[in-house]
Amino acid sequence: MKKKLLFVNDEMTLGGVSRILNTLLSKLDQDKYEIDLLILNPHGELMDQIPKGINIIPSSPFFKYVDQDIKGLIKKKDIFGIYKKTIFFLIMKTGLIKNRIIKERKTILSKQYDVEFSAKEGFCTIFTAFGNTPNKLNWVQTDYKENNYAKRHINLLKSALTKINMNIACSKQVADAFKEIFSIDNVIVIHNMINEEPIRQQSLVEVNIPQNDKVNIISVARFHPQKGLDRLINAVKFVKDHRVAILLTLIGDGFLMDDIKTQVNDLGLEKDVLFLGYQLNPYPYIRSTDLFILSSHYEGYPTIVIESLICTTPILAMDVAGVKDQITEEHYGVIIKNEQQALNEALLAYCLDRNRLHRYKQELASYHYDNEKILKDLCYYIDNRI
């Protein structure tokens, strides 16, 4: 008899968690597992990339605003959304969410599961914790010492974590922070799965890429404060002020898009920054550039680092959680102090040494990311109640 699995995520927007989830779902043996997926607020660019054979469970309207950022709603002047998010927040703050989750689960879920997997720590953890699945796993993707999403309802999440059998952290730094913040020990490290071969093949697709003699750099990210795109723009200005020709390509979307464009205009960088918006396949653009920049203030295990290496493009990354697990060879790139000056100086140094960048790209042609052990480790915790 197949083991019944339920995966719970809040949304499927373009980002690391959703891509990682889809990769895992595509690798699990459907002859061994009966797999259901509940997206609490079913929207996002990666909804249509959910693998075939995965049963998508309809959600409840109650969860529509679970993943909505209040600042983004205010910026859009979405009065109804602000009201609904405020109500949702109050239900969370008072702890009434426990009873509401139990009620909503009875409406949404029609079967008993053997294993329930919260695909993202936070509200998905709480949803999973207050259900009746015997084996509950929680995926931890955030460095909670750098950004504690649960600070407004810390006691609620601590209560939920007492009902979780095992927390699976994507990197050592993430695991250590989670243990410390929530005073728990049941945390192990398993790196995120990344679907290497499709990325490699997609990176070879022909796209219309501007030809120039500049140092071409790229970043793929949500336009969100976490991603530090404003300081990347400042670094481009710093390089240009040193009379070095540079072109930054930005792929992504988000509520800070207009702010970043205004910053570019104010700094006179209109010809030095190219906005491509959301791209379902960003990999040919990454392959075509000299250097990928990870300017984030915090991360968990930024999969775009590995994806860039698969595309043979070295990395300049801030010292955030997960990058030390990934940038382990000199030709993979460099990790720098998480501050503006370090980014400025490192970017300028790379731009002045294009031969090194070209050499790194050649050496990355043999790069390989092995998913086999990761899948084996994950299946151990799926198959065995801890």
pLDDT in tens, 4-14: 999 999 999 87
Whole-structure pTM value: 0.82
For residues 46 and 108, membership in a common domain is answered with yes
Query: Which residues are within 8 A (CB) of 106 and not within 5 positions of it... i.e. 6 or more apart?
Result: none
Tell me how far CA of residue 167 lies from CA of 81, 92, 190, in angstroms: 32, 22, 10
pLDDT in tens, 282-312: 999 999 999 999 999 999 899 999 999 999 9
Which domain does 343 fall in, by range? 197-366
For residues 93 and 149, membership in a common domain is answered with yes
What is the three-class DSSP state of 57? strand
Report the number of distinct structural domains present in the chain: 2
For residues 333 and 224, membership in a common domain is answered with yes
Which two tokens mark 229? 């795109």
pLDDT in tens, 160-216: 999 999 999 999 999 999 999 999 999 999 999 988 999 999 999 998 887 889 999
**Position 385 pLDDT exceeds 80:** no
For residues 201 and 117, membership in a common domain is answered with no
Distance CA 191, CA 169 (A): 7
For residues 181 and 257, membership in a common domain is answered with no
Distance CA 98, CA 92 (A): 8
What is the three-class DSSP state of 275? strand
